[in-house]
Structure 1
Amino acid sequence: MSALRTWFDGRSLREKRLILVMLGLTALTLVWAGIVRPVRDGLSSARERHADAVVRLATTESAVDAIRGAGRRVPLTGSLADALRAQAESAGFVLASLDERGGGRVHATIQAARPAALSRWVAGLEGGGILVDSATWHDNGDGSVAADLVVRARAS
């Protein structure tokens, strides 16, 4: 250490100042490269992992809700025809005809409906305990469709 001190004392004032500035910049660079960057990178990585975990959690919760919902059997209240009429009216569809057939089946006709809305409604019938045996759609030529449906109640 004394050899280093002797060497440093042998330098001119200008050289001493430049050496001190160099040592200060070296220390600053080492702190930045050895502490600041790794911590910042770690925080960035942690933020990304957290965002991914939040997305995975939401996806998992959605899947769990779908599985729980799929296991529920919703019993029909009243007759199948009444339940179908109520669901059609709540979805905004007008049933042109509704005939009960043998074997617990009901035939329903819808004269005009938007295809996207009708397909969502038909897909949602199963959640209400109504299974679609057959569905025939016909294009009305004006952007709407007519539908012939035969449905039955889900067996309990």
Structure 2
Amino acid sequence: MTTPALHYTIEDLENALAAALVIRHRANAEQWARRDAERKGVEFNPDTVDYSRIDEDGENYIDWGELEDSFSLYQTDGNGGWTWVKAPLKLPGIGVIDDLAASHGGEGQGDEYWLVFAVKDDAGQTRMFQRDGWYASFDGGHYDGPTFEVHPVQKVVTVYEEIGK
């Protein structure tokens, strides 16, 4: 049995996440190349897979904007087609991220921009983290930090609505 990984730091988390994302994106790039070879009717050659876009930033780089798309693997559906399949992101020595817990921001929502994800270790312990960023209509969203640990809190909010609607 593995001991709980509650001792990891945010830096440990970000390093493990960066490594896991490189592995995931490389796997998806390989599957895209397999699909393209299949569609062209040629034999797949793993030496021809273009990993340049994935590898150009280095192994410790996280494209936080692509995190939401990282919980799926592209693979054959067994019937001659291809599909996206839900696949948790495994962070060696830390745990698993199943999906984003929440996100906020984008067009029409001001400059607030953030995402929250939960990491569950082998013992079932869960920690939640938020990554902050900003949004601008002319440039899109950027998760440039920081990352910090959070916990859910329910709040009562009062809103005002027009009478008769």
More helix by share: 1
TM-score of the superposed pair, with normalisation by structure 2: 0.23
Query: Bigger radius of gyration, 1 or 2?
Result: 1
TM-score of the superposed pair, with normalisation by structure 1: 0.24
